[in-house]
Amino acid sequence: MQRKKFIQVSAMGLIGLSSVSFADFQSPFDKKDLMGKGNPTLMGEGYKLRKKAHQAFLKMKSAALKQDIKIKVVSSYRDYEHQNRIWERKYERYTESGLSPIKAIRKIIEYSTIPGTSRHHWGTDLDIVDGSVKQPRNVLLEKHFHNGGAFTRFKTWMDHNASDFGFYLVYTNKKGRKGFKYEPWHYSYAPSSIPMLKEFKKLDIKTELQKTVLMGSSSFTSEFIQQYMNRNVLDINPKLL
């Protein structure tokens, strides 16, 4: 090949490679998607999930139904504003009961996330129970999922079968796990939530949280945020990391 032609071909190849590489390394999720401020395409009747999570959920639901277990969705996608309403309701309740702002926040994050950091923002996570049995007054209590509680059979079935459909319990009862308390009702669709968590970890969450105007946000010190990320966001089921 002539030198001039070789240089031209090589240059074109590098340009093509550069374009492909840039597209390949672009994240399919932007900050708004990850923090509940986007407008994702969601699917489902009475609940909202991203397409792949929805398809997998329907297959799991169908399989469970064959065992007379009717999977019922209590909560799925929540946008930023929805999560903020939960946050404000709990913050007001706890501070009005006499807790200091930081103690109120620590009480909230036993089970609820700071707006902008919830896995429910992603359209990959679900809070689910068995709708085929008589419903307890407050369905999302640990006691209902064990030792003969209303959802014991449901939990046993999920333990044996959920992973076949890509779903894993997020906040397990593993000894020594920190952060959010055990939630036997909260499942995540791993094939979608793992890459979303990977992208979420790249965000400057410290800056994002410190610049937000949330009830109690003046207590979001650098130390608090780092601890919250390590314990509440990342100390989860290893299958979801």
Q: What is the DSSP string of 26-75?
A: S-S--HHHHTT-S----B-SSS-B-HHHHHHHHHHHHHHHTTT--EEEEE
Q: Helix, strand, coil shares of the chain as percentages rounded to 5?
A: 50, 10, 40
pLDDT exceeds 80 at position 27? no
Higher pLDDT, 108 or 26: 108
160, 159, 163: which is closest to 173 by C-alpha?
Answer: 159
pLDDT exceeds 80 at position 17? no
Q: b/e per residue, 134-157, with b = 16+ CB within 10 A?
A: eeeeebbeeebbeeebbbbbbbeb
Average pLDDT score over residue span 199-203: 97
pLDDT exceeds 90 at position 83? yes
Select from 3.40.1410.10, 3.30.930.10, 3.30.1380.10, 3.40.50.2000 the CATH code of 28-236: 3.30.1380.10
Q: What is the pTM of this model?
A: 0.88
Average pLDDT score over residue span 85-109: 98
| Strand-by-strand arrangement of the 167-169 sheet | 71-75, 125-130, 186-189, 167-169
Q: b/e per residue, 31-54, with b = 16+ CB within 10 A?
A: bebbbbebebeebbeebbbbeebb
pLDDT exceeds 80 at position 15? no
Contact 47, 124 (CB under 8 A): no
pLDDT exceeds 50 at position 73? yes
Higher pLDDT, 189 or 28: 189
CB-based contacts of 40, cutoff 8 Å, min separation 6? 33, 50, 77, 123
Confidence (pLDDT) at 1 = 52
What residue type is assigned to position 9 of the chain?
V
Residues 118-130 pLDDT 10s: 999 999 999 999 9
Contact 76, 121 (CB under 8 A): no
